[in-house]
Amino acid sequence: MEGINAKYVSQKISKTRWRPVSSSSLQQPDIFATGSWDNEDNKISIWSIGENGISSMDDEFEGDPQLVCEHKHNGDVLDLQFLDQDRIVTASSTGAVIIFRHHHNSQTLSVSQLWERAHHYPCDNAPCTGIVCNSPEIVTVGEDGRIILFRADQEGVLRTIENADSSTIHAVTFLRTTEILTVNSIGQLKIWDFRQQGNEPSQILSLTGDRVPLHCVDRHPNQQHIVATGGQDGMLCIWDVRQGNMPFSLMEAHSAEMWEVHFHPSNPDHLFSCSEDGSLLHWETSSNSDTPSFLQGGRNTSIVSRSALAPAGGNQSLISSWLTGDSSKGRLETTHMLPSQTLSVNSLDVLGQCL
């Protein structure tokens, strides 16, 4: 039940994502992609764990992730998403948005499409900070406050919302097929509707009180009005976008910035978050969702943890397991990745039974 696999790779990893498995097959996801940052030459790499086709019930057969292929990347990888089985979209710190294609036969990566300077300032390059895709459409947001809508196979930009925000937009997610939600560095959530023509958000939600920059957002997979956000002070907030301005609940989660938050795609009672202070938390609700009351700490009997985290700085690609804590209210069980929580966890992704 616990499988921790740690492997040192020689790069600082900023994002990691599992390749989506088709819903018909019951395979565990076995291939994931990582993007690096802060190196002289950044790259995106594809790794695989274990071997396909061997179903092993015991977890002795935990291989180290093996590098399958990699490709140079201009600028830090700030966000990474799988468009479909073969293509990966990345957001770069030079403001470019790149689509890579993974060729299974030759196990190589190649650049399939490139939008240079998609995000830019008049004189500089602006980093593109977030991507979300709903194939074949891609929405990107950047530090220049622009929201851009692309289509995967077309050259040009489909639509740009200029000056969508006066501050940096950190993350974006789809609410419905035509609506997106963005979070920015003055602590606001904005909902944009693409069917409308103007450049105004259709709704703005924010916390009263201190405006804390929000870094990540994720939508509940089944209920589209429930959204979780994580902020700079490590607080996790759950919002209901139908109801007004206040978040539904606020929880203190981490002691430093929370970089990523994800609902489990098929098991939405579980939520995962990772942060700069080096911890990775697993949240679980007990009751059903209209009024989620989150128990802190979880018992994970159903989640086999072969997880892939990517902390920063230490160039570690870690896979960690969960402590099975008592599901008692008010106690937070954190997973300790190795004895010291010295370096931050930059990214996490969860799919099926693997984290």
> Quick one: which segment of 142-150, 220-228, 264-272, 326-334 binds another protein (CB under 8 A)?
142-150
Type of residue numbered 114:
L
Type of residue numbered 47:
W
Binding residue for another protein, selected from 250, 256, 304, 323, defined by CB under 8 A: 256
Distance from chain centroid for Cα 293: 23
Contact 1, 303 (CB under 8 A): no
- Omega before 136 within 30 of 0, i.e. cis: yes
Residue 309 to residue 262: CA distance in whole angstroms? 13
Our finding on whether 186 is near another protein (CB under 8 A) is yes
Residue 284 to residue 259: CA distance in whole angstroms? 19
Binding residue for another protein, selected from 50, 127, 292, 297, defined by CB under 8 A: 127
Please list, in sequence order, all residues whose beta carbon lies within 8 angstroms of the beta carbon of residue 162, skipping any fewer than 6 positions away.
146, 199
Query: Among 133, 6, 28, 144, which residue's Cα sits nearest to residue 82?
Result: 133
Binding residue for another protein, selected from 16, 34, 173, 188, defined by CB under 8 A: 188
> Quick one: which segment of 36-44, 45-53, 130-138, 297-305 binds another protein (CB under 8 A)?
36-44
Nearest CB to another protein, comparing residues 5 and 300: 5
Touching another protein, residues 42-71 (CB under 8 A): none
Residue 354 to residue 321: CA distance in whole angstroms? 10
Our finding on whether 22 is near another protein (CB under 8 A) is no
Binding residue for another protein, selected from 58, 153, 155, 210, defined by CB under 8 A: 210
Shortest distance (Å) from residue 156 CB to another protein: 24
Distance from chain centroid for Cα 193: 22
Our finding on whether 168 is near another protein (CB under 8 A) is yes
Number of residues that bind another protein (CB under 8 A): 55
Residue 287 to residue 64: CA distance in whole angstroms? 37
Nearest CB to another protein, comparing residues 175 and 338: 338
Query: DSSP letter at 351?
Result: B
Nearest CB to another protein, comparing residues 137 and 143: 143
Query: Among 21, 125, 128, which residue's Cα sits nearest to residue 80?
Result: 128
Residue 92 to residue 78: CA distance in whole angstroms? 6
Our finding on whether 340 is near another protein (CB under 8 A) is yes
Our finding on whether 5 is near another protein (CB under 8 A) is no
> Quick one: which segment of 50-58, 180-188, 265-273, 299-307 binds another protein (CB under 8 A)?
180-188
Query: DSSP letter at 277?
Result: T
Query: Among 4, 2, 109, 97, which residue's Cα sits nearest to residue 49?
Result: 4
- Count of alpha carbons within 13 angstroms of residue 124, beta-carbon side: 7
Binding residue for another protein, selected from 12, 17, 87, 102, defined by CB under 8 A: 12
Binding residue for another protein, selected from 30, 137, 143, 218, defined by CB under 8 A: 143
Our finding on whether 257 is near another protein (CB under 8 A) is yes
Binding residue for another protein, selected from 13, 31, 343, 354, defined by CB under 8 A: 343
Tell me which residues touch another protein (CB under 8 A): 8, 10-12, 14, 37-40, 75-76, 78, 93, 121-124, 126-127, 129, 143-145, 165-168, 184-186, 188, 190, 201, 204, 206, 208-211, 213, 232, 256-257, 276, 312-316, 338-340, 342-344
